[in-house]
Structure 1
């Protein structure tokens, strides 16, 4: 019997609402949202512990699907968590990272800068937008390069959230499917 991948949804600051593609994927595909204690005043240490516990509790292999601050969390966690836990993660889909080093976001989200910039120890695809108010496309492209992630330009779709009007965002799910298809067991939950 083949193992299924555990897909963990990592929302950003203020969580992902009912119309967000992450919530739709969670409901449609049975993925698991990593719950945080405080979505309004996120603390990097607390969020890191929650991700660590979720990865430990999940069956391997694990795939992360992060949006906005969830992308920044993924990079930080991968650089600071025990290698044995990080090794459970096989891939990550990173969507619209929030640039917490920008002055306005740095003030709104104290304690999240600097961004961990090391190469991620798992396969990753980073999707950015040409007109994301929280991260310029050039900056998102640089984060993709730093993290060793494949870069995908989604066009001018804002912050790639519910306000972008993407619905179930089938193009994004196709990118996730692409990340999953080359796994040794070839199986995953859809």
Structure 2
């Protein structure tokens, strides 16, 4: 498992960090967390993935990292085992964090491996309709977990047991 945190990183009580500690997942460490450049993030993601066996790799991305990961897929077209894309931020929307570069437009290409998009009905960074569009064009299973904000610490998501269950579903596809 390879986790890819979004802007700002995950922090010590974020579900990604807790999963990394509990289950030994590897976390992508970006050089710049607060004002990222998509091209740099994509290259960093690629550096991590090159060291792993793609056939057995599941990526767990959150927020803007979902977009960077989709850019990585478009650029490198490497087939991995699967991806869990949680709260994919809409880089084309005015709510996307300022100070970033290269994330827009969000690639709308079908992924060459199984994936699940998890979203909530009240995420400030992506509308439910846009998240559904992402899932449709990426060929992902779509999971709406209800009013869960951005599915992060601010939304009071710590360990996030439901996310582990969804991840387990992806591992069984």
The question of a shared fold, defined as TM-score above 0.5 by the shorter chain, is answered with yes
Q: Which has the larger radius of gyration?
A: 1
Equivalent in the alignment of 2:118: 127
Contact 2:108–2:134 (8 Å) recurs in 1: yes
Aligned structure 1 segments of 4 or more residues deviating by more than 6 angstroms: none
Name stretches of at least 5 consecutive residues in structure 1 with no aligned partner: 1-6, 183-190
Distance (Å, rounded) in 1 between the aligned partners of 2:95 and 2:21:
33
Instruction: Give the Å deviation of 1:107.
Output: 4.1
Equivalent in the alignment of 1:63: 58
Equivalent in the alignment of 1:15: 9
Partner residue of 1:114 out of 75, 85, 105? 105
Equivalent in the alignment of 2:46: 52
Normalised TM-score (structure 1) = 0.87
Count of paired positions: 172
Distance (Å, rounded) in 2 between the aligned partners of 1:144 and 1:59:
25
Distance (Å, rounded) in 2 between the aligned partners of 1:35 and 1:166:
21
| SS of equivalent to 2:58 | strand
Contact 2:95–2:125 (8 Å) recurs in 1: no
Partner residue of 1:91 out of 82, 88, 94? 82
Normalised TM-score (structure 2) = 0.95
Partner residue of 1:72 out of 67, 70, 73? 67
Distance (Å, rounded) in 2 between the aligned partners of 1:33 and 1:160:
18
Q: What CA RMSD, in Å, does the superposition of the two structures yield over aligned residues?
A: 1.2
